Every structure is written in structure tokens, then in C-alpha cells.
Structure 1
Amino acid sequence: GEPLADRVAARVSAEGTRGALAGALAALPARYRDVLLVVAWGDLDYAEAAEALGVPVGTVRSRLHRARKRVRAALGGADPTRTEDEEAEHG
């Protein structure tokens, strides 16, 4: 398949917030960014992400939560990392 970074870029450009999001991601500590990327755009579940990153599942959850909070703040409340399922769930 195509590299993760390319998939991310394609998805992000569709969000219309590419520049802002790129900046927000760049500002994240690498450990948060990695978790965000593999879960949000790598289509891995928490267990797979934990294995890929070599950290416990609890760490994946907490880092993902913090990463998303920072990205949302940087984008003024938008969260392009949410899946459609989550959108439907939370409205």
C-alpha cells in the first residue's frame, strides 16, 4: 500500500485544514504524533498501535487523548483525526 505519510496527506488535504493541521502536528511531541498518526490514519486499533509503537495500550489511549486535545486547540475546536463513526457517535 501507499506510505502512511501519503495517506495522511491525502486525508488531511480533504479536510481543508491542511496547513493548520500540519502546523499542529509539527508542534506535537513525537510520541503523541506517532500515536495519533497510526490510530487516526493508519487504521490500527489501540492494541495494534500499542504493538507497533512498543508501548502499553493504556499509553496509547492517554497519548491519543492528549494529542487530539492539542490538535483541537490548535485548530480552534476542529478535530480532523476523528473517524466518521466517532462523529456519528458524538454528533
Structure 2
Amino acid sequence: AEGSRARLAGALAALPARNRDVLLLIAWGDLDYAEAAEALGVPVGTVRSRLHRARTGLRRALGGSDPAALHDETEETDRG
């Protein structure tokens, strides 16, 4: 789990800040697209495109792994 967590943290850190911010607001902040757009002061379309770029970048950095699966894996480890 620590290896997955470290890989995910490194991949997140490598993302451009604006893409990372959108991803974190939606994935971990549980905001919807409209809420994230309002929080960042950008149009909803910009949120959608940045989220797509962030997810694509994470998949590429993690060798095709689903970032959500790694997140779920670390949560399971934390609970157990």
C-alpha cells in the first residue's frame, strides 16, 4: 500500500497545479463540476477539460492504472 500511495503522490505532484486542483476538488473534495468551477472561478467546460487532462496524466504516470483504484486500495489499507 505504501508503494501505491507513494506512486500516486508522485503522480499527483507532477500534474500541473490547475489540473491537480480540479481533480482534488472533485475526487477528494466531493464537489460537482459546477461547485468546482465556482470555487476556481472558471467555466464548467474548463473544469471538465482539466479533469480529463488530470486523469489522463495520472493514468499515464501510473502505467495505465486507474487512479481511483489506487485511492480505494489505500482507503482499504487504512481501515484494516
Name the TM-score, length of structure 1 as normaliser.
Answer: 0.70
2:39 alignment partner in structure 1: 52
Q: Contact between 1:41 and 1:81, CA under 8 Å: does it hold in 2? A: no
RMSD after superposition: 2.0
Q: Kindly report structure 1 stretches of 4+ aligned residues shifted beyond 6 Å.
A: none
2:11 alignment partner in structure 1: 24
2:34 equivalent to 1:34: no
C-alpha separation in 1, matches of 2:22 and 2:46: 9
Equivalences, count: 70
Higher RCO, Cα 8 Å, sep 6+: 2
Larger relative helix fraction: 2
1:64 alignment partner in structure 2: 51
Name the TM-score, length of structure 2 as normaliser.
Answer: 0.79
Gaps of 5+ in 1: 1-12, 85-91
Gaps of 5+ in 2: 73-80
Offset at residue 77 of structure 1 (A):
1.1
CA offset digits 1:25-60 (Å, max 9, x no partner)? 110110000000000111000000001111100000
